[in-house]
Structure 1
Amino acid sequence: MAPDSLQLIASWPVSLAGLVVELVLIIALTGWMLVKVFKLDAGTAYLSSFPGHLSFILGIAAAGVGDSRQIVIIQVIRILMLTIAVPVGAVFLPIDHFTPPAPTDFLDIGQLLALGAGCVVVGLVFVWLKVPAGFVLGSMAAATAAKLGGLYVEAIPTPLVTVTFILTGALIGSRFAGITRAEFMSAAKGGLIATAMTVAIVTVVTYAVSLVVDMPFGQIWLGLSPGALEGMGALGIALGYDTAFIAAHHVIRLLLLSFAIPAVVVLIRRREAAAIARQQ
């Protein structure tokens, strides 16, 4: 995200309003379903309902919010359904080969150390304030503020990004250790139903937006889709849609989730504390 990314917010007000409504409905309805139907605790259910930011969610779960194993299964089911279905569908479309844009400027060692130090300091402040997953949220807040503030525009060096993804994948895989077949099947059913609900909500909201704005239904759906940015971008290119529209909506979706996830976690923690106080 570049400092001028926020200027895109004013470009598509109706579809962005639809994006906000969609996220509220997805989180509220799928979270409620997982609590009522599958009897998951609120932390597990609502962290499983967020359409995106898996590594961020796992960081919060690792700090003791919800059952990280259940969250991983449900979230991975959602990602697999989207990322597998999109390429399979793309096989039947006339997609030309293209080279994805790659960064050319990278942070140097001094910038990395300064950014790392800032993340540590803000993380410690968040821990002191007893914010859930303080280091995760603090680091993300510090890096985002620095990026949007124009303190740096370069990208993270590729080897460092690669190592980060490897460690994130190892963390995700480690959560499957000790999971029984019955436990996996139960969580997988929740994941399938939650994903189906999410896709249905996106489709309904897309239809409502398409009645107001003069855009192809497919372009709006790809922009409001619950994840799989790379696949949706590829389909957008294949179908001749405005890829800036699609990319901008996915960036804003992730930005909104960055604020929504910790806010929901704080609310869950407060409800749990109030319930314990009433029992005493």
Structure 2
Amino acid sequence: MIFSVSASKPARVLLTLIIGAIGGVLAAWVQIPLPFMIGAMLLATVAALVGFPALLPNSLRSVFSPVIGVMLGSGFSPAIFSALGGWSISLLLLLPFIVLTTLVGTTAMKKISGTDSATSFFASVPGGMVEMVLIGSSLGGDERRLALLHMLRVLLVVLIIPFWFRWTAGYVSAGLAIDWSHWPPTGDLVILILCAVGGLPLGKYARLPAPHIVGPMFLSAGVHLSGLTQSAPPPVIVAIAQVVVGASIGARFAGSPVNMVIKAFRTALWSTPLMMVMALGAAWVISKLIGVPMSTALLAFAPGGLAEMSLIAVYLHADTAYVASHHIIRIILVVLMAPLGYRLYSAWRK
């Protein structure tokens, strides 16, 4: 190994970003879906698993997360007001979906993998990765196994969905053929920057879920709904943000024992598709009830992260406002209800 764990943190962070950027460019060159995030994620994951001490602190991801929030906010338009009534049915179905997915996943994980109740339960909650690891470990779950299962879930979902739509719907990545020189007018750019800078403290003050994304998204949605601007962040900045998000997923595997990763991967290989099948069923029901395109509903109910699923929604030209709103509500629900849900589940099992 060229670099050891004793290498300076700045060097490790810089090399992790370089690895992610190389992965993103290579993925874009061969036209892999959502190339800058998926390419960065895959190459950083491989590097971490073969021994490179990858490092990408949450503080750095937090710097670029507002870019994603502002981009998501740019997907809000006045037309959203006429759609809100239909969304209520979809949002109401989130809670039963979470409960059913968690119970089915918990039962299957205990029987198939022999995992303890607490770890099985909190690993089966479809969302809130960081929160479920913290809450689950405090209630007796295996913290490292929980973290691995959730990381692998996000990784697999990010891989499955774009390729699924490429094979079934013919979505093709623009690759490197993006107008990298495009920048919004100066006035619009200033507004977008203010949304990113001001949204972060707003999100923290209001105690919003994922404040680094949701705060800027709310401000950006406000200025776009009001007509102050219709511009989105420059493509080059969005691509950099995707590289950071992708590399941060891969960097989380650094230092994980290979045998533990393999064991968790075996579980994730069947548990993640199980969650996806249930999300697909929910998406089918939603599409029949309120007419939302099934691809959009699937992204809203898919067991991936807010940032990751919203970026995929942008790539697929889906309704980002619908997708992001559902993931935000789901994070709130799982954080508020998972601890109580586990206590009720434990009492029921007795």
TM-score by length of 2: 0.52
**1:120 is aligned to 2:200:** yes
Aligned to 2:348: none
Change (3 A) 1:190 1:140: same
**Given the superposition, is the C-alpha separation of residues 79 and 24 from structure 1 closer, same or farther in structure 2, using an over 3 Å criterion?**
farther
For 1:176, the equivalent position in structure 2 comes to: 253
- Which segments of 5 or more consecutive residues in structure 2 lack a partner in the other structure? 1-74, 110-116, 137-145, 303-311, 345-350
Residues 104-133 of structure 1 deviation map (CA, whole Å, 9 limit, x = unaligned): 66274633442233123214414xx5x665
Q: 1:101 to 1:65 in 2, by over 3 A?
A: farther
Partner SS state of residue 336, structure 2: helix
Matched, 1:256 2:330: no
Instruction: Decide whether the 8 Å contact of 1:74 with 1:191 is kept in 2.
Output: yes
Choose from 244, 248, 268 the match for 2:338.
268
Separation (CA, whole Å) in 2 of partners of 1:44 and 1:107: 45
The structure-2 alpha-carbon separation of the partners of 1:141 and 1:35, relative to structure 1 and needing over 3 Å to count, comes to farther
Counterpart in the other structure of 2:77: 3
1:34 to 63, 86, 105: 105
| 1:20 pairs with one of 91, 98, 118 | 91
Distance, in Å, in 2 between the alignment partners of 1:261 and 1:43 is 13
Correspondence for 2:279: 198
Question: Deviations 1:61-99 (Å, cap 9, x if unpaired)?
Answer: 5994664432221233233333223322346xxx99999
Amino acid in structure 1 at the alignment position of 2:83: I
**8 Å contact from structure 2 (residues 313, 323) kept in 1:** no
Q: 1 CA distance for matches of 2:293 and 2:154?
A: 23
| Aligned with 1:156 (options 221, 229, 233) | 233
Q: 1:231 to 1:164 in 2, by over 3 A?
A: closer
Inter-partner Cα distance in structure 2 for 1:23 and 1:81: 22
Distance in 1 of aligned mates of 2:204 and 2:172: 48
CA contact (8 A) 2:76 2:224 kept: yes
Amino acid at match of 2:248: L
Query: Which residue does the alignment assign to 1:237?
Result: none
Matched, 1:87 2:175: no
Give the 5 Å matches for 1:88-107.
88-90=167-169, 106=184
For residues 193 and 168 of structure 1, the distance between their equivalents in structure 2, rounded to whole angstroms, comes to 25
Query: What is the aligned length?
Result: 235
Q: 1:41 to 1:122 in 2, by over 3 A?
A: farther
1:110: which partner in 2? 190
CA RMSD of aligned residues (A): 4.3
